[in-house]
Chain A
């Protein structure tokens, strides 16, 4: 693999079910991020993490849980999915872990529909 991969590509889920979105990067980047993208709202940060152990909540953290072990994986879990979590989810990573330019590179996204 090269870059960032996400799985699944798309998923339709019944409300109340548990779902884990997977994200893997092979660029040895320090920092990883999860965003959701909704029509008219743009990309909004859910959570971020770096290999030094720094984690933080973004703009829309509620309803999601995350782990970062091993360091090239960053799965996002919806413990009990709700219709408001219908969205396109993008995982991203960056090299500097916050320092300097620290350009973020995005995975191909997961389209999640919660009915």
Chain B
């Protein structure tokens, strides 16, 4: 089966930086996705990594190390609206995305 682990909860202060780690053990690898999901809403796409290294997109960056089965999502200059769940997902075939249980980030003033 697939095994994707990420912390359950994280708390940070407005303006700070938070790093959400994700480790995975999957039968195949075709890329890693990060999604943001606000309470009661649909997941929305944040980032995609398929090669090792850092992808930067505004305040959000995502890193991948395929040899270590490891990724992180870095959220900089935190804002209150960043309070949400962040989902790590591995594409392990042509179609299937396997998701972690999600990390709930709470931003405090």
Residues of A within 8 A of B (CB): 31, 33, 40-45, 48, 50, 54, 56, 58-59, 90, 97-99, 101-109
The one of B33, B45, B50, B87 that contacts A42, using a Cβ cutoff of 8 Å: B87
Residues of B near any A CB (own CB < 8 A): 31, 33, 41-45, 48, 50, 87, 89, 91, 93-102
A-B contact count (CB 8 A): 54
The 3 A-B pairs of least Cβ separation, nearest first, read A98-B94, A106-B42, A42-B101
Could you jot down 23 A-B contacts, CB within 8 Å?
Answer: A31-B95, A33-B95, A33-B97, A41-B101, A42-B102, A43-B87, A43-B97, A44-B99, A45-B97, A45-B98, A48-B95, A54-B95, A56-B95, A58-B96, A98-B93, A103-B33, A103-B45, A103-B48, A104-B97, A106-B42, A107-B42, A108-B41, A109-B42
A98: chain B residues at CB < 8 Å are 93-95
Nearest CB of chain B from residue A67's CB, rounded to whole Å? 18
- Beta-carbon nearest neighbor of B101 in chain A: A42
Task: Given A101-B31, A105-B45, A106-B44, verify A42-B99 contact (CB < 8 Å).
Answer: yes
Q: Is the CB–CB distance between A45 and B42 below 8 Å? A: no
**Which of A43, A45, A104, A108 has its CB near the most chain B CB atoms (within 10 A)?**
A43
Question: With a CB–CB cut-off of 8 A, which chain A residues contact B101?
Answer: 40-42
